Amino acid sequence: MDIWHTCEPDKQGTEGWLGRAIREIDPNKENVLTGVNFGRGLPRALAAPGVPVASVGNLATYGVLTGIEADEQRTEALDIFSKMYSPTIGRSSVVDYLSQTGMDALKGADILSTAPEMYSSSVEYGDDVVAQYMKNIAQVHLAGFGTRILYTTAPYNSFDTHAGELAAHASLWGNTSNAIADFMDDLREHDASDNVTLLVFTEFGRRVHDNGSGTDHGSGGVAFIVGDNVKGGLYGEYPSLEEDKLLEGDLHFNNDFRSIYTDLLEGWMGLDAQPLVNGQFEKFNFI
């Protein structure tokens, strides 16, 4: 079984901006697939109390109790699973939470498992993990499940390099670029590119000076916005490499990432960004 998350109600500090957005889009939780993550675990950006999010490791094998090969035994086990998690009266909030999570998992898995069989494309994605996740995102989007936010990350520690970066990053960024290009080609083949905007961002930057054969973590990062509705160009100032303009040896950031989020939430998704990003931030108006 892959992972299904509903953030615990008392963990208010774990709320992420996309988790809040999912709750705003679907406050009554009418669609358990409003938000879907591809990868193991739940990214912090998607976490919010009571918001269901599926984390899919492999869409082709996604489901509940998929390790049971015999159809009759799996059907019986699913029936027991369903009865165990079905709502009953007079239970505690913790049991109610587990019950809702279990039922969401059953319902979402049934729906998501149909996406690959509905999909056909002439686009051949690469065999790396990022490419396969981007293919999965395309499959779910094209299936028309009403999913509004699809999220994925590069494999754990893949970009967290501190040595031999010249060769490693050339390969990593080559795979990422090819995956994005294939994804956009796939959407255009299906006349579905005009209602998708892709945000690609780094979790951390890199220091300017090397440590011998690589670089350590820095403060300045980068973000790319890709889509038919994006006004292309460079937003903000290109960072300086001059020593007196660095921030303790790092590139000095000049944009607040919450400005990017505000643009996407308001300009693309039609939401009020202020309560979702906890403040008011200047927009770039790149949509």
Each of the 287 residues of the chain gets a pLDDT tens digit; together they read: 333 344 444 344 568 999 999 999 999 988 989 999 998 778 889 988 888 888 887 787 665 444 545 556 545 554 555 554 455 444 544 444 444 454 555 667 778 888 999 999 999 999 999 999 999 999 999 999 999 999 998 876 678 888 888 888 889 999 999 999 999 999 999 999 999 999 999 888 888 888 888 888 888 888 999 999 999 999 988 888 999 999 888 988 888 899 999 999 999 999 999 999 999 999 999 99
**Res 94: pLDDT:** 42
**One-letter identity of residue 263:** D
**Beta 52-56 vs 35-38: how paired, if at all?**
parallel
**One-letter identity of residue 85:** Y
Apex 105 CA angle, 102 and 108, nearest 5: 150
Q: How far from 119 is each of 108, 122, 141, 243, CA to CA, in Å?
A: 18, 11, 10, 52
Model pTM score: 0.81
**Res 62: pLDDT:** 62
**Res 8: pLDDT:** 43
**Run of H or E including 200:** strand 198-201
How far apart, in whole angstroms, are the C-alpha atoms of residue 47 and residue 64?
A: 22
Residues 6+ apart with CB under 8 A from 96: 87
**Res 157: pLDDT:** 67
Left, alpha or beta for 5 (phi > 0: left; psi -120 to 50: alpha)?
A: beta
How far apart, in whole angstroms, are the C-alpha atoms of residue 135 and residue 182?
A: 8
**Res 106: pLDDT:** 60
**Res 12: pLDDT:** 44
**Res 229: pLDDT:** 95
Residue pointed to by tokens 């011998």 = 212
**Res 165: pLDDT:** 83
Apex 17 CA angle, 100 and 276, nearest 5: 105
> DSSP character for 249?
T
**Res 70: pLDDT:** 56
